[in-house]
Structure 1
Amino acid sequence: MTDNAATIEAIRRELADSYDEEFELELEDDRLESLEEGAAERKARGLDRKVYFRELLRLQHELVRLQDWVKSQNLRVVVLFEGRDSAGKGGAIKRITQRLNPRICRVAALPAPSERERTQWYFQRYVAHLPAAGEIVLFDRSWYNRSGVERVMGFCTENDVEEFFRSVPEFERMLVRSGIILVKYWFSITDEEQEFRFQMRIHDPLKQWKLSPMDVESRSRWEDYTRAKEEMLARTHIPEAPWWVVEAVDKKRARLNCISHLLEQIPYGEVPHPPVNLPDRVRHDDYIRHPVAPELYVPAKF
C-alpha cells in the first residue's frame, strides 16, 4: 500500500470511529428495552436501524450547513424543548449538537433558581443565555417551567402563573422583533410510554440518576400536567412564535422529524469555504524533542 493510500485508509477508519458514539447510544437503548416485557413487539414497530442511521447522518450534515449559514449571516437562533419527564428532549438535543461546533451551538439547561434569582424578574436568568450574532441556543426546558413543573408542584402561586401568561407572549414577540429566530417544540408521549421509560431508568444503574424525586412525583400528577400543558399551548401559541408538537413515543422517528422540521424553519444556503491546504512541516536542525518522564504517563491498562 502506498503512503497516500495508507493515509486515506487511516482517515476512513477514523471517520468510521467518529460515528461510533451514535451506534453505542442506540445499542444502549436496545439493551435497556430488551429488559422489559414486549421488547420484540416494540422493536418490530420501530424504525429500521439502517434507515434511521442513514437519515440521521444526512440530517446532521444539513445541520452543519445550517450552522455555517447562521454564523455567516450573523443570525440568532433560539430553540425551546419542552415536554414531560423522559419525553426524549435530551436525546433529540444530543443528536442535534453531536456534529456541531459548541462555540456556535450550545445548550442551556438551567438548574432550579437560586434565592437571589427568585427575587428577579422571572425571565431575567433566561435572558442571560440568549444568543449573540452567529449563535444557536437550545433550551433544555425554558421559561415555560413556570406554566409546567412550577405550577403543578406548587413552587409558584396562581397569580404568578397568570402574570406569566400575560407576559410571555409579549416577551417572545419582543425577542422576535429584535431579530431572534424562536422555535418552540413540545415532545408528546403517552402515559404508558412514560411509565415504560421510567422503568428503564429504574433498571439501569447508569441512568438511575436521571430519575429524580420530582420525576417520581410527576407520575402521580399526570392529569395535572396534562391540564397545565393544554392551557400553556392554548395561551402561548402565537403567530410570531407558534408551538410545534413532536410525536415522541418512537424516539428515533421523533428525532428525525424534529431535526427535519427545524431545518425547514430557517432558510439557509451554501456557505463557500476556501480550500484548506496544509503547509509543509517546518523543520530546524537544532530542534530536539526531549523525552517525557515515564511517571507522567497514564498507565496503559488497555
Structure 2
Amino acid sequence: MTTAPASRYTAIGVLCGVGAAVLWAAGFVAARHGIDQGLTAADITFHRCFWAGLIFLPMAWRDGLADLNGIGWGRGLILTFLGGPGIAFASYSGFHLVPLGHGGVIQPSCAALFGLLLATVVLMERLPVRRAIGAGVIVTGLAVIGAEAIATIGAHGLLGDGLFALAGLMFASFGTLLRKWRVPPMRATVAVSVVSLVILPIYWIAVGFDRIIAMGFWENLLQAVFQGLMAGPGAIYLFTRSIVMLGAGRAAVFPTLVPPCVLLIGWLALGIVPTGLQLVGLLIVLLGFRFTQGK
C-alpha cells in the first residue's frame, strides 16, 4: 500500500528537478543572446534579481520580514548570496570569456560533483555505489560535450572556466544548506528573491540604467521573463522541491541535465547545431543520470 505513493512522490521530485534544469538551460541561452546583443553580466544580473524580488515582495511582507519568514536574516543573507546575485554575476561574467556550450557544461557539472560531495560529507547522506558510478558516467559525458570547446579556449578562457566552476560550487552549497537548515522550498524562493532587491541601489550607483534603456523594450522583456521569472525563482522553487522529496545527494545531479538542454534550446533558439560528439556526450549524461536515481 505504501509503494505506489512512495513511487509517485519520487516521480514528482524527479519531474521538479528536470523542470528546474530546463529553466536553467533556457536562462543560459537567453543570457548568451543578451550578451551578444550588448548587455553585460551586471545588466542580466539586475534582470535576474530585481523582477523576482518585486513580485514576491507582497508575499514576504505578509508573512513577516522581521525574521525573513522564519528563516532568519543571517541564514537568509547567506542563501541569497549563494542562490541570488552572487551566483548570477559569476555565471553571466563567464559568458564574456567562453562560449555558451562551455558554460553550460562546467557550471552544472561542478554543481553536481560538489553537491554529491557536500551531501556525503556535510549531511552524512549515504553514497551508494550505483550513484557514485552514475556520477562518474555523467562526468565522462560532460567531458565529451565540452571537449571541442575546451580545445578552442585560450589563456583568457581559464578565467571563464573558473567563474563557472565557482558558480557550480555556490549552487551546490546553496542546495546543501537548504537541506541542512530544512528551509521550505517556497519560503526559500521568496526570501532569496526579496533580499536580492538590494541589487537595485547597487546597480543604480555602480552601473546606471543607460545601457539597459538603450537595448530597447523587447530585449529587456526577454531577459526579465527568462532571468527574473524562469531561471530565477521558478528554477529555484522546483529544485528546492526536488531536494525535499529526493534528498540533497540525488537532487544534486539534476544540474547535469542542463548541458543537453542547453544544446537543444540553443539549437532551436539560436541555430547552434549540436555536433556528433555533443550528441554522444548527451546520451552518456542521460545514462549517468539514470544510474544516479537508483538506490
Normalising by structure 2, we get a TM-score of 0.28
Instruction: Name the structure, 1 or 2, with higher relative contact order (CA <8 Å, separation 6+).
Output: 2
The structure with the greater share of residues assigned to helix is 2
Greater strand fraction, Structure 1 or Structure 2: 1
Structure label with greater radius of gyration? 1
